[in-house]
Every structure is written in structure tokens, then in C-alpha cells.
Amino acid sequence: MKNICLYFEIHQNIHLKRYRFFDIGSDHYYYDDYENEKSIVETSNNSYIPALTTLIEMAEENKGFFKCALSLSGCSLDLLEVHAPQVIELIKQLVATGCCEIIAEPYSHGLASLRNENVFREEVKHLCDKVEGLFGAHPKVFRNSCSIYSDDIGRIVSSMGFKGMLTEGAKHILGWKSPHYVYHCAQAPKLSLLLRDNHLSEDISFRFNDHNWPAYPLFADTYMNWIEQLPKEEELVNLFMELCALGVFQPLSSHILDFLKALPAEAKKRGIRFATPSEVCKAIKPIGPLYVQDAISWVDEERDLSPWLGNVMQQEACDKLYSVADRVLVCNDRRIKQDWDYLQATNNFRFMSTKAGSEHAYRGIYDSAYDAFTNYMNIIGDFVTRVNNLYPDLDNEEISPLMTTIRNQEEALERKDREIAKLQKTLELVKGKAEDGQSSKPARKTRKKTVNS
């Protein structure tokens, strides 16, 4: 039987303001508050609110059948809590239906998985703690920023306790293989890999309202026929996209939400089920390893790292940012920590792209890639100085052993937490058996003694 794994990402970049060279050292606030509020409110009204409302309706109308997954970056959560709290409430309602699984990703939606393992681990833990506090969900499956994946990243993700990971079904990696199977990480066989079907996903997220597309207009029955006609042995179709595809990339006037609502009924007719990523990882065994030495992503035709690290400017900016990574990890300054999260976001590096065709790409406040680079480097210049001033007497060689000590302490605490949880479960089990034993014993009969007078 075929399974559809439907996943949506929510991420909003924190827009930076125009920051001049002469602001370095005197202005430590880097953000365009007006643009941040405007963008999150518009996206929420045009996409998130109607899309989440539709998903809730689908869950209630198809109880136990319709299922989906969702992930949120820390940047988007911070913006939503301040400017669009109704979106948070809708996500809580969706999770309460039992149909939606929340999966993990790095808090900053950044490139830490490529540059600093300790930062990457902290980012993921930070996001998981935030999600658990807001939605009462403990993520078991992971999806990296922009679906970035490699064998090394998979090994780290597996060591953090995740059972599965979502990534791209990149053609240059799969070759003749199909994305409609579950694979496992080459360096960590316990980590299942769910690969995006980019063609079927982008039929919805990119091509749905394209009047020049041969399949336009696309109806739910036609779409489900495509899935039904896949080879019988291909059990899994992973449809991964940004939530803003519903209402922003594809306007509400295109009836994209009507199309979405019709999918469960058409799936039922064909015996096709919906499943969450965790359910897929539990029910479908991997058919073999997926070897990915060079990192892949779900962006652009190349499906690689070129959108963020494709030119010298991007690489220099990324190197400069992560040069203070270890110092940021050991500091307790909340303002530094928040700036660190927002400055890591991938969009900051995407604005510097000089790839073919990028001259017409969205760049926010910037006129060109060079303008984006100059502005970002001015901000990084101020940020790095602030971080270095926190520990003026420590060099990097002294910080490295300190980081090792902190990491060892964290691992020791995590082991103790696991041992405590295990002992608590054992104690509850013993208590339960003892109570059952007491209740199953027959009441002892007492003989009344008579006193002879």
C-alpha cells in the first residue's frame, strides 16, 4: 500500500537594517523592525492562517486518516510570538487533533551543520526545548536547514537520538534509484532517510498556478492518479514544501487550498494512506544506505550548497561569522545569543549569491550581491568585536579545552537524565505489579473466637 508523507516548513528570515561602516562600535541593534513585522503579518494573513485552518479542517473531517508534519525555525517562532500569536494557537490546535507531527530543525535555520558541530547540537537542542514548551511535542525526526544533508551530518543527527531525517531526493545522488523508498545513513544505519519527490512536490508548490504548464489546471483526482500509477513496490511518496507555498507562491485565488482539501478523499478511493515521518520510520524498513559525501540541499537545480557558499564573498562572510562560534557557546549574554541566532540564518548568505539568474532574485533591502555582502560584513564586524570583548584575555586555544569540558558535562547530565527516567519507569512498573498482586489475593477469612462463660 502506498503512503504519502506530507511535510511543511515554516521559516521567516529576520531582516537586517541598513548598517553603515561608521555604525560599527556605536550601534549594536541590527534589525529592520518595520520590515520584520510587515513580512510576518502579511505571510500569516495570506498563507499561514488560511493554510493551517484548512489542515485542521482536513484532520477533523478525516480523523485518523489524514496526517502531516510541520517544522518551525526559531527565527519564525520568535516573530510569530510577537506579531502573529494566532498562528501559534492554530498550530497547537493542529497538533491537538493528533494528525500532525512536529519535527526538529536548527533554531537559527543556519549553516552550523557544515561549520561547527557543537553549535549545531546546541541549535537543535534549543529548538527542541522551544517546541516542547510551546506544543508539548518532543521531536523524533529531524530536518536540517534547507534540507542540507551529508553522511557526516547524518552521523551527528543519529547520535542526537533522532530516528529519521528528511532530505532531498537529488538526482545526482540517487542516479537510477527512486526516492520512493526509505534509505539509511551510510555512517549511521539506525537513521532512516526520507527523500523528497521534488517533481511531485513542486507540482504543488511551484507549478500549480502556471497557465503555461501542460498539466494546468491540476485537479486532485489527476494528482492522485499520478501517485497510484507509480510502480507497486514503491510504497512511499514524500511531499515536502514550505507552508507559504499555500497562499504566497500559489495565491489563494488559484484554489490551492480547495485542491489540498480534496486530496484525502481521492487517496481513500485508491487505497493510498497518509503517514507521519515517525510512522514511516517505524513501519518501512530501509532498503539500503544512501551515500552522500558532498552535502545536498533542496534549493535550485543543482541541489547543492552553491546558493549560500557558491562565491568568495559568501565563504568569507560565513568564515568570519563562525570564527567566534566557540566564544559564543561559552557566553551567557542573552543579547549576543539572540544576535547569533539571527545572523546565522541562511537567507543572509542567499542575498549574496551571484549564480546565473540571481540578478533578478529577491534581495530584500539590497541592490546587489555586493551590497548585501558589504552590509552584512559591517554588522559582523561589530558583532565579532562585541563577542571578543567578552573574553579579551582568552585565545582560541584556551577556549577549545573549555568547550570540551562543557560538552562532557552536558553529555554526563544527559546520561544521568536517561538513567533517572529509566529508573522511574522501572519503579512505576514494580509498583504496578505490587498493586495488582495485592488486588488479586483473596481476602483472608478471620475466625471469631468464642468465649466460654
Q: What is the pLDDT of residues 221-255, one digit of tens each?
A: 999 999 999 999 999 999 999 999 999 999 999 99
pLDDT greater than 90 at residue 8? yes
What is the rounded average pLDDT for all residues in the chain? 92
User: Residue 184 in contact with residue 290, Cβ under 8 Å?
Assistant: yes
Nearest to 14, CA basis, from 23, 119, 25, 34 = 34
- How do residues 143-152 score in pLDDT, each as one tens digit? 999 999 999 9
Look up residue 78 and give its DSSP letter.
H
- What confidence category does residue 411 fall into, taking pLDDT thresholds of 50, 70 and 90? low
Please state, in angstroms and rounded to a whole number, the distance separating the CA atoms of residues 422 and 420.
5
Q: Which helix (H) or strand (E) holds 190?
A: none
With H, G, I as helix, E, B as strand and everything else as coil, classify residue 139: coil
Q: Which amino acid is at 218?
A: L
Q: Give the list of residues 6+ apart from residue 18 with CB closer than 8 angstroms, or none.
A: 32, 365, 375
pLDDT in tens, 208-217: 999 999 999 9
CB neighbours of 54 closer than 8 A, spacing ≥ 6?
Answer: 246, 257, 260, 261
In 323-395, alpha helices (H): 325-330, 334-344, 346-350, 369-390
The answer to whether 327 and 388 are in contact (CB under 8 A) is yes
Please give the residue that has the higher pLDDT: either 405 or 127: 127
pLDDT value for 363: 83
Tens of pLDDT, residue by residue over 59-107, are 999 999 999 999 999 999 999 999 999 999 999 999 999 999 999 999 9
Least confident of 108-112, 123-127, 335-339, 427-431: 427-431
For residue 435, pLDDT beyond 90: no
Nine-digit cell string for 301 = 537545480
241, 68 Cβ separation under 8 angstroms: no
Question: What is the enclosing helix (H) or strand (E) of 70?
Answer: strand 68-72
List, in sequence order, every residue forming a beta bridge with 165; answer none if it has no partner: 142, 193
Q: How confident is the model at residue 448 (pLDDT cuts 50, 70, 90)?
A: very low
Cα torsion 106, 110, 114, 119: sign? negative
What is the band of 401 on the pLDDT scale with cuts at 50, 70, 90? low
For the cut 80, the answer to whether the pLDDT of residue 395 exceeds it is no
- In the structure, what pLDDT confidence band is assigned to residue 365 with cuts at 50, 70 and 90? confident
Look at residue 449 and tell me whether its pLDDT is greater than 70.
no
pLDDT at position 358 is 62
pLDDT surpasses 60 at 446? no
Of residues 448 and 1, more confidence is placed in: 1
Confidence of residue 111 (pLDDT cuts 50, 70, 90): very high
Q: Identify the residue with better confidence: 423 or 354.
A: 354
Cβ(344)–Cβ(108) below 8 Å? yes
Contact between 121 and 142 under an 8 Å Cβ cutoff? The reply is no
> Residue type at 196?
R
Q: What is the band of 203 on the pLDDT scale with cuts at 50, 70, 90?
A: very high
The residues, any chain, with a CB within 8 Å of residue 87's CB and separated by 6 or more, are: 44, 48, 49, 52, 80
The answer to whether residue 333 scores a pLDDT higher than 60 is yes
Pairing of strands 289-290, 182-185: parallel
Strand-strand pairing, 192-196 and 182-185: antiparallel
Contacts of 143 (CB under 8 A, 6+ apart): 7, 9, 71, 103, 104, 105, 165, 166, 167
Residue 264 confidence (pLDDT): 98
| Confidence (pLDDT) at 224 | 98
> How many angstroms separate the most distant Cα atoms in the chain?
114
pLDDT beyond 60 at 307: yes
Give the residue-averaged pLDDT of 29-58: 97
CA distance 414 to 296: 31
Task: Give pLDDT, residue 409.
Answer: 65
3 state DSSP class of 123:
helix
Residue 285 confidence (pLDDT) above 70: yes
Instruction: Give this prediction's pTM.
Output: 0.87
- Average pLDDT estimate for 437-445: 58
Mean pLDDT of 279-283: 97
Radius of gyration of the CA atoms of the chain, in A: 26
For the chain, the first-to-last Cα distance in angstroms comes to 84
Above 50 in pLDDT, residue 47? yes
- CA atoms 76, 82, 84, 89: torsion sign: positive
Q: Count the helix, strand and coil residues of the chain and give each as a percent rounded to the nearest 5.
A: 55, 10, 35
Residues 445 and 453: their CA atoms lie apart, in Å, by 25
Three cell numbers at 335?
A: 543579547
Lookup result for grid cell 551571484: 354
Of the chain, the percentage scoring pLDDT greater than 90 comes to 83
In this prediction, residue 451 carries a pLDDT of 42
Q: Which strand (E) or helix (H) includes residue 403?
A: helix 396-440
Once rounded to an integer, what is the mean pLDDT over residues 321-326? 96
Beta bridge partners of 71: 9
